[in-house]
Chains A and B, each alone.
Chain A
Amino acid sequence: DGGITQSPKYLFRKEGQNVTLSCEQNLNHDAMYWYRQDPGQGLRLIYYSQIVNDFQKGDIAEGYSVSREKKESFPLTVTSAQKNPTAFYLCASTPDRGLSFADTQYFGPGTRLTVL
Chain B
Amino acid sequence: AQSVTQLDSQVPVFEEAPVELRCNYSSSVSVYLFWYVQYPNQGLQLLLKYLSGSTLVKGINGFEAEFNKSQTSFHLRKPSVHISDTAEYFCAVTKPWGGSEKLVFGKGTKLTVNP
- Tell me, yes or no, whether A63 is within 8 Å of chain B by CB: no
Chain A residues, Cβ within 8 Å of B49:
104
Q: Given contacts A40-B107, A99-B98, are A104 and B90 in contact (CB under 8 A)?
A: no
Q: Given contacts A43-B90, A102-B94, A102-B97, are A109 and B102 in contact (CB under 8 A)?
A: no
Question: How many chain B residues touch A (Cβ–Cβ < 8 Å)?
Answer: 26
- Tell me, yes or no, whether B32 is within 8 Å of chain A by CB: yes
Contact present for B42 and A109 (CB under 8 Å): yes
Residue of B nearest to A31 (CB): B98
Most B CB within 10 A of own CB, among A41, A100, A108: A100
Task: Determine how close the nearest CB of chain B comes to the CB of A54; give it in whole angstroms.
Answer: 12
Task: Determine how close the nearest CB of chain B comes to the CB of A53; give it in whole angstroms.
Answer: 17
Interface bits A88-116 vs B (CB < 8 Å: 1, else 0)? 00101000101111111101111010000
Task: Write 19 A-B pairs (CB below 8 A) sorted by A numbering.
Answer: A6-B43, A42-B106, A42-B107, A43-B44, A44-B105, A45-B102, A48-B102, A58-B102, A90-B43, A100-B100, A101-B98, A101-B102, A102-B94, A102-B95, A102-B96, A104-B46, A105-B103, A107-B44, A108-B43
Contact present for B94 and A101 (CB under 8 Å): yes
- Tell me, yes or no, whether A82 is within 8 Å of chain B by CB: no
Which of A4, A56, A104 lies in contact with B100, CB distance below 8 A?
Answer: A56
